[in-house]
Amino acid sequence: MRETGYLRTENANGIRILTEKMPHLRSVTTGFWVGVGSRDEPQELSGISHFIEHLLFKGTERRSARRIAEEFDAMGGELNAFSAKEYTCYYAKVLDENLEQAMDIMVDMLLNSRLSPRDVDAERKVILEEIAMHEDSPDDIIHDLFVSALWESHPLGQSVLGSQNVVRTLQSADIRDFFGRYYYPENIVVAVAGNVEHEKIVEMVERLMAVDGGRGRHSRHCVVPEIRPHTVVYDRPTEQAHIVIGTQGLPRRHPARFALAVLDNILGGGMSSRLFQKIREERSLVYSIFSYHSMYVETGLVAIYAGTSPEKAPAVMDLIKEEIDLLLEKGVTAEEVERAKGHIKGSLVLSLEDSGSRMTRLGKAEVSGGEILELDELLRRVEGVSVDDVQRVAYELFGPRRLVAVIIGPFGDREFQAHLF
């Protein structure tokens, strides 16, 4: 058995099992990743994957919701879940001696949850409150609104939480049908990191999840969305204006993804980034400004967020556009590239020091068709990025000038189009 690196097994019923041994730890993090998310939902069921995620904590034939909570509390463990566009993850962090008990509970939740009409009606109220809270947080919801504006009718444009109107109408029969379509062995990945032995985890999964496979993996019909440059203004009585400006990015396995990470870091990835220095430090126009990128199977996005006073919003948008123009006209410097690579490499190493991060790296890549690279190879790929690589990806993404902007603030019907195009 290797002391480092990960191991992978696909068992007879199609469940994929990945482990990474971290012998110096007493903790273990395990995740059950299901290959379904908001992009797989028809519009009339928008938010159903997230609804199911909630319902799996409401109890099984063997355990009530209270008993599930009590068993994890007695272990001093953590049990949680999250939904995303391409997957749903249920995860737990426990002491290594409690791993089998934790996995038994999680498998029980995955295989035997009641999904009863009573539980659906009760959890519906909780989810409606969650959506309302999200919609009351403009610095959160603006990112959803940007994705919706960027990808419009494409499945990736759908909200993970769904809309209040759809959540109000979802019924137990809808949920059972959707659950049956996607929660099956070949569509599940089990990822475990910590003080574990791979063979023991494989045996444990085969024993606890002795269910029939044979349906094959879920496959998606993926089409790259067309981007329509435009600006959307949401008139709301907020104290601050919230702005996101961005465009199409790169798919998850694109060879230039490491150059994009360096570009993102130079543009708005830290306190020394161009946007932070120019718009916050030199002009004092914002408190928060940063860039980010996300990658999916067939496409991705790159975006810039800024929060500012409403009266300063036009100036901030002008300066963001100026920085994009400067990037295309003058390029990046060797010094900026080296600093960004150092930042990324340091963040990578630090992020993988705990079992939760290692588990997430394995599970997310496997369930979404990504590439799992050893840490040394990741660092080598980052180090190999050149000034020319960064400039090429900058031209590819920003050169066509297909920018989409979303703004929230007390603007009435004010027009912002001229500040970007």
Residue 224 has pLDDT above 60, yes or no: yes
417 band by pLDDT with thresholds 50, 70 and 90: low
401 band by pLDDT with thresholds 50, 70 and 90: confident
**184 phi/psi in degrees, rounded to 5:** -145, 165
Q: Do 387 and 255 share a structural domain?
A: yes
Residue 95 has pLDDT above 50, yes or no: yes
Q: What is the pLDDT of residues 331-380, one digit of tens each?
A: 999 999 999 999 999 999 999 989 999 999 999 999 998 899 999 999 99
Identity of residue 304: I
Average per-residue pLDDT for the chain: 95
- Tell me how far apart the alpha carbons of residues 345 and 362 are, in angstroms, rounded to a whole number: 18
Is residue 274 within 8 A of residue 268, CB to CB? The reply is yes
Structure token pair of residue 354:
């705990």
Between residues 400 and 361, the one the model is more confident about:
361
Q: Do 247 and 109 share a structural domain?
A: no
Indicate the pTM of the whole model.
0.94
- Tell me how far apart the alpha carbons of residues 92 and 258 are, in angstroms, rounded to a whole number: 30
What's the CATH number where 130 sits?
A: 3.30.830.10
Q: Do 178 and 261 share a structural domain?
A: no
Is residue 101 within 8 A of residue 172, CB to CB? The reply is no
Indicate whether 213 belongs to any domain: no
> What would the mean pLDDT of 123-127 be, rounded to a whole number?
98
Q: What is the pLDDT of residues 5-33, one digit of tens each?
A: 899 999 999 999 999 999 999 999 999 99
421 band by pLDDT with thresholds 50, 70 and 90: low
Question: Which residue in the list 10, 41, 44, 53 is annotated as catalytic?
Answer: 53
Range of the domain at 389: 230-419
Q: Do 288 and 193 share a structural domain?
A: no
**158 phi/psi in degrees, rounded to 5:** -75, 145
Measured CA to CA in angstroms, residue 81 lies from 52, 162, 388 at distances of 11, 17, 41
- What's the structural domain count of the chain? 2
> What would the mean pLDDT of 393-402 be, rounded to a whole number?
93
Collapsed DSSP state (helix, strand, coil) of residue 16: strand
Q: Do 291 and 178 share a structural domain?
A: no
Q: What is the pLDDT of residues 145-180, one digit of tens each?
A: 999 999 999 999 999 999 999 999 999 999 999 999
Q: Do 62 and 198 share a structural domain?
A: yes
Last residue of a domain, which of 148, 176, 208? 208
Q: Catalytic: 53?
A: yes
How buried is residue 230: exposed, middle or buried, by Cβ count under 10 Å (0-12/13-18/19+)? middle
Tokens 């080296």, residue?
338
Collapsed DSSP state (helix, strand, coil) of residue 59: strand
Pairing of strands 241-248, 88-95: unpaired
- Tell me how far apart the alpha carbons of residues 287 and 262 are, in angstroms, rounded to a whole number: 23
Collapsed DSSP state (helix, strand, coil) of residue 177: helix
- Tell me how far apart the alpha carbons of residues 325 and 303 are, in angstroms, rounded to a whole number: 15
Pairing of strands 16-21, 78-83: unpaired
